[in-house]
Amino acid sequence: MEPIVVPKGLDGVIVDDSAICTADSDNGTLIYRGYSAVELAEKASFEQTAYLIVYGKLPGRNELAEFSQFLKKNEEPDSNTKKIMALINKDTAVIDLMRSVVSLVPTNETKQDRVLLEIAAKMPHIAADGYRLINGAAPLPSISGTYAERFYYQLTGKNDAEAAKYLEKLLILYMEHEMNASTFALRVTASTLADPRAALTTALATIKGPLHGGANDQILNYIVKMDTKDEAVKFVDDRLARKEKIMGFGHRIYKKVDPRAQFMKKELDALSRLKHTEKLYDIAAAIEETVWDRKKLPANLDFYAALIMHLLGIDHVFYTPIFASSRSFGWAAHYLEQVGNNKLIRPDSRYIGPTGLKLR
């Protein structure tokens, strides 16, 4: 077969069919299994959305109860895993700890969907328990409540249902985004028929990069230091004059508007009023307006997510782990879809190196 030359980075290349998710760059929409992701964030729970992503339909009452109970039952790592986490170097990034632990964490299930969900259920505890253990602190106990309420407690030590609702909406919007870098990496691994643990480890390694999931904790570095909108405008102009990237702007798919970012912008407005920190919202909005005016780059989800998490009192070390924990349910769906209609993913490359060299 004649080779097909595609754009570098596979930009604009369709590599497979998927029924899980689609993003529309022209209309600025994101669809999960036929439903608007923004509407799900507004009206559905995390558990309902996760079930939808993995199984392709919204759960009935009994299905939701069983699914929610499964996540609760499997959220804590076993005692041996905690012992291993306590031995990890305290300078290790939490996302690196998660990658290492997921690669070896034991599971009780045998069916692929249940194995994937069992590991996904543990992600919040792996992140929070691991961070505390490597810093010489004891893990927090599990509490009752929704997935988001339990996750928020593990992150902050606060049992706050109102704050957890803001986190829940963010988690829903982080859950899935079609063939992004970590998902594609996971599907490559899955296509070799490697087990779910190996595929999830691949995805966790990929999501760390600053061009994917590792950028959100950098956004605070510049915003929290500003006091006025004028400073925000000057910051943007100075960065652009030096041809430096402004984290939180631009997206491979969304060229005009990221619907997730605009939804969370409204949530930030409400939360900043609740916290009496309207200045933070005003500065963020000024940065967004200036970047769009100067470069026509839209704010992406990470931009407003970082500010939401900051106001919720979540330590920046957890920002990428939060992204990964939510996305693990999307990864589960993609693993199942890949192995359900599998072909080994093995592209070619065009050799541009020397030939004909001889040993002397």
H helices of the chain, in order, are 37-43, 46-55, 61-73, 79-86, 94-102, 112-134, 147-156, 161-174, 181-191, 196-207, 216-223, 229-241, 259-274, 278-295, 301-311, 319-340
Q: Is residue 106 part of a domain?
A: yes
Same domain, 172 and 196: yes
Q: Which CATH number fits the domain that encloses residue 120?
A: 1.10.580.10
Predicted pLDDT of residue 295? 95
The verdict on whether 276 is a catalytic residue reads no
Say whether pLDDT at 267 is over 90: yes
Q: Is residue 94 part of a domain?
A: yes
Predicted pLDDT of residue 225? 84
Same domain, 151 and 27: yes
- Nearest-10 Cα torsion for 302, 305, 309, 311: 120
Q: Is residue 244 part of a domain?
A: yes
The verdict on whether 17 is a catalytic residue reads no
Q: Is residue 1 part of a domain?
A: no
Predicted pLDDT of residue 218? 72
The whole-number average pLDDT for the span 316-334 is 96
Catalytic residue, chosen from 125, 302, 310, 334, is 302
Same domain, 181 and 271: no
Same domain, 191 and 56: yes
Q: Exposed, middle or buried, 270 (CB in 10 Å: 0-12/13-18/19+)?
A: exposed
Same domain, 46 and 173: yes
Same domain, 103 and 122: yes
Size of the chain, expressed as the number of residues it contains: 360
Predicted pLDDT of residue 215? 64
Same domain, 32 and 87: yes
Same domain, 59 and 159: yes
User: pTM (2 decimals)?
Assistant: 0.95
Predicted pLDDT of residue 216? 65
Same domain, 32 and 124: yes
Q: Is residue 159 part of a domain?
A: yes
Confidence class for position 111, pLDDT limits 50, 70, 90: very high
Phi, psi of 249 (to 5 degrees): -130, 145
Structural tokens at position 166:
């803001």
Q: Alpha-carbon distance 193 to 204, whole Å?
A: 18
The whole-number average pLDDT for the span 12-17 is 91
Q: Which of 104-118, 126-140, 173-187, 202-216 is the least confident region?
A: 202-216
Q: Alpha-carbon distance 348 to 21, whole Å?
A: 27
Same domain, 176 and 269: no
Q: How many CB atoms lie within 10 A of CB 116?
A: 26
Q: Is residue 14 part of a domain?
A: no
Q: Is residue 15 part of a domain?
A: no
Counted domains in the chain = 2
Catalytic residue, chosen from 251, 258, 310, 334, is 251
Domain span at 253: 216-311
Phi, psi of 30 (to 5 degrees): -135, 125
Q: Which CATH number fits the domain that encloses residue 299?
A: 1.10.230.10
pLDDT tens column, 223-238 = 888 999 999 999 999 9
Predicted pLDDT of residue 250? 85
Same domain, 200 and 221: no
Percent of the chain exceeding pLDDT 70 equals 98
Predicted pLDDT of residue 34? 97
Q: Is residue 241 part of a domain?
A: yes
Same domain, 197 and 242: no
pLDDT tens column, 143-168 = 999 999 999 999 999 999 999 999 99
Tell me how far the alpha carbon of residue 21 is from its chain's centroid: 15
